[in-house]
C-alpha cells in the first residue's frame, strides 16, 4: 500500500493508543490526569503532534505551519473545554459547539489532508479523534458518552435490532431512488469478518463517537431526547453531502439521515457507543459487500 512504511505503522500505533486507553479505562484516566496541575493538563495533548512529525520527516514533507497547528489545536481544545466545564458542566455552552463544529468541518471538508502523504490521510482523522477524546473525556469530563470498548451482549442485541428495523427501509428506498444496486459477491468468511472489524473501528467508531457521544449527548441536555435525535441525525446526513458525488448528493444525505435515526436510537437506549457502532458497521459492511 502506498506510503505504508514502518514509520507510518508506528505513527498509527501512537494514534491508536490513546483511543484504546480511553475505550478501556476512560474514567480512571480522567481521575488520574485530574490530579495534575491545570497548566500541565491543558498543554499535555500537544504531544499528539508526534505522529505528524514522524511521518512528515520520513516522507520529506515536514512544514512548521502544520507542526504548529497540530501542536496548538489539541491545547486550544483542552483550554476551551476547561472553560466550558467551568461555565456550565452539565448542559454545555458555545465552546462545546465551536469545538464540535471545527472537528466536524475539518474531517468533512478535509482541511488538513494536505499535511499528509497519499494513503495516510486517515492519520489526520485519528489525530482529531484523539484530541477530541482527551478534551471531552479528560478535561471536560463529559458524562453519558458511552465510549467503551467492553462490548456487552446488550450492545449486540440493541445494535442488531436497530439493523433489522433499518434494513428494509434502506433497501426499499435505496432501490426506489436508484442509489443502491445489488451485485453478487461471495467473499471468504475470514476476509468478510476482517472487513467488518475494520469498518467497526476505523469508520463507525469515530463517527458514532462524534455524532452520538458528543453531538446527540450535548443536544439532549438543551432540547430533549427526541429533538436531539432528529438534529443529530440530520447533521449526520448532511456530513455525507459530498460522498460519492462531486455535487450535493441529496440521496446519500436522505438515506444517511434515516440511518442516523436508528444509530441514535441504538446509542440512547443505554447510552452506549458500542451499540450504535454495531448497527453502523453492519450497515456499511452489508452495503459495501452487496450494494
Q: Does the pLDDT of residue 263 top 90, yes or no?
A: yes
Work out the average pLDDT over 264-269. 98
Low-confidence winner among 18-22, 51-55, 190-194 (lowest mean pLDDT): 190-194
Average pLDDT score, the chain = 93
- pLDDT level of residue 56 (50, 70, 90 thresholds): very high
Q: Stretch 6-32: mean pLDDT, rounded?
A: 94
Residue range 21-37, pLDDT digits in tens: 999 999 999 999 989 99
Q: Does position 199 have pLDDT exceeding 60, yes or no? A: yes
User: What pLDDT, on the 0 to 100 scale, is given for residue 289?
Assistant: 84
pLDDT recorded at residue 2? 65
Res 86 pLDDT > 90: yes
Q: What is the mean pLDDT of residues 131-149?
A: 95
Mean pLDDT, rounded, for 164-168: 95
Q: Is the pTM of this model over 0.85?
A: yes
For residue 203, the model assigns a pLDDT of: 94
- Confidence (pLDDT) at 261: 97
Per-residue pLDDT band at 228 (split at 50, 70, 90) = very high
Per-residue pLDDT band for 244 (boundaries 50, 70, 90) equals low
Q: Does residue 1 have a pLDDT over 90?
A: no
Which region among 29-33, 34-38, 143-147, 187-191 has the lowest average model confidence (pLDDT)?
187-191
pLDDT of residue 187: 77
For residue 82, give the nearest of 34, 117, 146 by alpha carbon: 34
Q: Residue 119: is its pLDDT beyond 90?
A: no
What is the band of 15 on the pLDDT scale with cuts at 50, 70, 90?
very high
* Averaged pLDDT, 198-203: 94
3-state secondary structure string across the chain: CCCCCHHHHHHHHHHHHHHHHHHHHHHHHHHHHCCCCHHHHHHHHHHHHHHHHHHHHHCCCCCHHHHHHHHHHHHHHHHHHHHHHHHCCCCCCHHHHHHHHHHHHHHHCCCCHHHCCCCCCHHHHHHHHHHHHHHHHHHCCCCCCCCCCCCCHHHHHHHHHHHHHHHHHHHHHHHHCCCCCCCCCCCCHHHHHHHHHHHHHHHHHHHHHHHHHHHHHHHHHHHCHHHHHHHHHHHHHHCCCCCCCCCCCHHHHHHHHHHHHHHHHHHHHHCCHHHHHHHHHHHHHHHHHHC
Q: pLDDT tens digits, residue range 149-163?
A: 999 999 999 999 999
Stretch 52-74: mean pLDDT:
96
pLDDT given for residue 115 in this prediction: 95
- Cα radius of gyration (the chain): 19
Predicted local distance difference test score (pLDDT) of residue 290: 77
Amino acid at each position: 500500500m502506498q506510503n505504508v512504511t514502518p514509520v507510518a505503522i508506528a505513527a498509527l500505533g501512537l494514534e491508536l493508543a490513546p483511543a484504546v486507553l480511553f475505550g478501556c479505562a476512560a474514567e480512571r484516566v480522567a481521575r488520574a490526569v485530574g490530579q495534575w496541575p491545570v497548566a500541565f493538563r491543558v498543554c499535555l495533548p500537544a504531544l499528539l503532534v508526534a505522529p505528524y512529525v514522524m511521518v512528515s520527516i520520513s516522507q520529506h514533507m515536514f512544514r512548521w505551519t502544520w507542526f504548529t497547528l497540530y501542536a496548538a489545536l489539541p491545547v486550544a481544545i483542552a483550554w476551551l473545554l476547561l472553560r466550558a466545564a467551568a461555565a456550565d458542566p452539565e448542559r454545555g455552552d458555545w465552546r462545546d459547539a465551536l469545538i464540535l463544529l471545527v472537528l466536524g468541518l475539518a474531517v468533512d471538508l478535509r482541511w488538513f489532508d494536505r499535511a499528509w502523504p497519499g494513503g495516510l490521510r486517515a492519520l489526520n482523522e485519528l489525530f482529531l479523534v484523539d484530541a477530541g477524546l482527551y478534551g471531552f473525556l479528560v478535561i471536560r469530563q463529559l458524562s453519558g458518552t458511552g465510549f467503551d470498548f467492553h462490548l456487552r451482549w446488550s450492545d449486540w442485541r440493541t445494535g442488531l435490532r436497530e439493523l433489522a428495523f433499518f434494513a428494509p427501509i434502506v433497501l426499499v428506498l435505496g432501490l426506489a431512488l436508484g442509489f443502491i444496486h445489488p451485485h453478487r459477491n461471495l467473499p471468504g468468511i475470514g476476509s468478510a469478518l476482517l472487513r467488518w472489524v475494520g469498518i467497526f473501528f476505523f469508520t463507525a467508531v469515530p463517527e458514532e463517537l462524534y455524532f452520538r457521544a458528543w453531538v446527540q449527548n450535548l443536544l439532549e441536555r438543551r432540547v430533549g431526547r427526541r429533538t436531539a435525535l432528529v438534529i443529530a441525525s440530520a447533521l449526520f446526513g448532511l456530513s455525507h453531502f459530498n460522498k460519492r458525488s462531486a455535487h450535493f448528493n441529496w440521496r446519500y444525505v436522505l438515506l444517511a439521515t434515516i440511518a442516523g435515526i436508528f444509530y441514535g436510537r441504538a446509542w440512547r437506549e443505554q447510552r452506549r457507543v458500542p451499540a450504535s457502532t454495531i448497527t453502523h458497521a453492519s450497515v456499511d459492511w452489508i452495503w459495501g459487500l452487496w450494494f
